[in-house]
């Protein structure tokens, strides 16, 4: 199957992080050069490392002269072409986004052979860390996060942006334990106007477990943005069970199972990991053909959301904090 061979090749070609691609550790003080809206520039005190990504390293940074803390995302100014492209997309798209459930982009500047992005700080790790630690979340918690992620997807789609790489590891937790989608490296801009969906991004991107089957097929046009709804379905399943539904040892097997919607909910009877019929129903609703997937507004009107408790903002902090890393 030439198509499958091509997919395999593309997956294998995904840049694998190498240490030489990462920037060297930053000095204790980072200087932001003067700019139009900051005539005197700024100084950041570098704190602890937050994490390493494909080509970036993130550190905590405090703006000197204030108590404000940010995430400093650092990338080498000279990067391999492929990564440079990913980074440029990320910059362009991310800097235009503003929503309470997207990591806020604040500034970007060059300093000592590196590019620095100043981002809203999410000090409580990713949703993936939390779900792993807790071995699955409760229904109210899943409602809380799903509503937040659905809201962010609605916002992005309204702006003509498809994220394309939504997964638990890309959803960070702010100091109030709110979900913030980060990493716009694979996002794509839909061409707006009459031919809104005519440009198809044929590059295979995303993480095997979260990829919608139509990305692997040719000739299905017009519902590109629905790949994010598929990913939300996968994320919801994973929040409940702590693993994605099609998890397998090979990428081919993951794709095969995704195409056949071959997944099973774990037995939860008699345990404290209750998963309701409504929950299973809304997840199944999202894992269908692209043109039949519900939009974010329809999702949050489903019985799963309206007939059960949804924690209010801030309330989640007390129950979650104990589990958050320090």
The string over 98-135, giving b where at least 16 C-beta atoms fall within 10 Å of a residue's C-beta and e elsewhere, is ebebbbbbeeebebeebbbbbbbbbbbbbbbbbbeeee
The contact pattern for ligand ADP, residues 91-110, with x = CB under 6 A and - = no contact, is ------------x-------
Q: Residue 52, annotated ligand binder?
A: no
Does position 122 bind ligand ADP by CB under 6 A? yes
228 is catalytic: no
- Looking at the Cβ atoms of 69 and 256, the one nearer to ligand ADP is 69
User: Does position 185 bind ligand ADP by CB under 6 A?
Assistant: yes
Give, as ranges, the residues between 36 and 65 that touch ligand ADP (CB under 6 A): 50-56, 58
Question: How far apart are the C-alpha atoms of 241 and 228, rounded to whole Å?
Answer: 20
Question: Which segment (180-188, 234-242, 272-280, 289-297) binds ligand ADP by CB under 6 A?
Answer: 180-188
Neighbours of 254 (CB within 10 A): 20
Instruction: Give the active site residue among 37, 40, 165, 195.
Output: 165
DSSP codes of every residue in 238-306: HHHHSS-TT--SSHHHHHHHHHTT---PPP-TTSS----HHHHHHHHHHSS-GGGSPPHHHHHTSHHHH
Residue from 182, 244, 245, 311 binding ligand ADP (CB under 6 A):
182
How many residues of this chain interact with ligand ADP, rule: CB under 6 A? 19
Tell me which stretch binds ligand ADP (CB under 6 A): 116-124, 152-160, 198-206, 276-284.
116-124
Query: In 3D, which of 160, 275, 291 has the Cα closest to residue 230?
Result: 291
Q: Rule CB under 6 A: is residue 121 a binding residue for ligand ADP?
A: yes
Q: Can you tell me the distance from the alpha carbon of 202 to that of 52, in angstroms, rounded to the nearest whole number?
A: 28
Tokens, residue 50 = 């937050």
Q: Minimum distance between the CB of residue 221 and ligand ADP, rounded to whole angstroms?
A: 29
Q: Which is nearer to ligand ADP, 79 or 162 (CB)?
A: 79
Catalytic residues: 165
Q: Which residues in this chain contact ligand ADP in the complex, by CB under 6 A?
A: 50-56, 58, 71, 73, 103, 119-122, 172, 182-183, 185
Per the annotation, binding residues for ATP are 73
């Amino acid at each position: 199957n030439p198509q499958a061979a091509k997919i395999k090749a593309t997956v294998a070609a995904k840049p694998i992080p190498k240490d030489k691609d990462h920037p060297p550790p930053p000095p204790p003080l980072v200087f932001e050069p003067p700019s139009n809206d900051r005539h005197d520039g700024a100084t950041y005190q570098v704190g602890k490392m937050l994490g390493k990504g494909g080509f970036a390293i993130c550190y905590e940074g405090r703006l000197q002269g204030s108590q404000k803390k940010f995430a400093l995302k650092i990338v080498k100014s000279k990067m391999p072409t492929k990564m440079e492209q990913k980074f440029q997309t990320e910059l362009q798209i991310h800097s235009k986004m503003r929503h309470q459930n997207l990591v806020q982009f604040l500034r970007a500047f060059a300093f000592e052979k590196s590019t620095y992005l100043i981002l809203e700080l999410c000090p409580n790790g990713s949703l993936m860390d939390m779900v792993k630690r807790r071995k699955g979340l409760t229904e109210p918690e899943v409602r809380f996060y799903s509503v937040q992620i659905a809201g962010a997807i609605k916002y992005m789609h309204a702006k003509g942006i498809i994220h394309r790489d939504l997964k638990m590891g890309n959803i960070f937790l702010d100091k109030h334990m709110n979900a913030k989608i980060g990493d716009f490296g694979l996002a794509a801009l839909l061409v707006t106007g009459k031919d809104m969906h005519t440009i198809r991004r044929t590059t295979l991107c995303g993480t095997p477990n979260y990829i919608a089957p139509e990305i692997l097929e040719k000739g299905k046009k017009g519902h590109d943005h629905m790949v994010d709804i598929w990913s939300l379905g996968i994320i919801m399943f994973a929040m409940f069970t702590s693993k994605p539904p099609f998890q397998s040892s090979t990428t081919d097997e993951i794709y095969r199972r995704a195409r056949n919607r071959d997944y099973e909910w774990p037995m939860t009877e008699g345990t404290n990991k209750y998963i309701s019929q409504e929950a299973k129903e809304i997840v199944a609703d999202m894992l269908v053909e692209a043109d039949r997937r519900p939009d974010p507004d329809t999702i949050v009107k489903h019985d799963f959301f309206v007939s059960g408790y949804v924690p209010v903002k801030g309330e989640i902090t007390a129950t979650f904090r104990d589990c958050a890393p320090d």
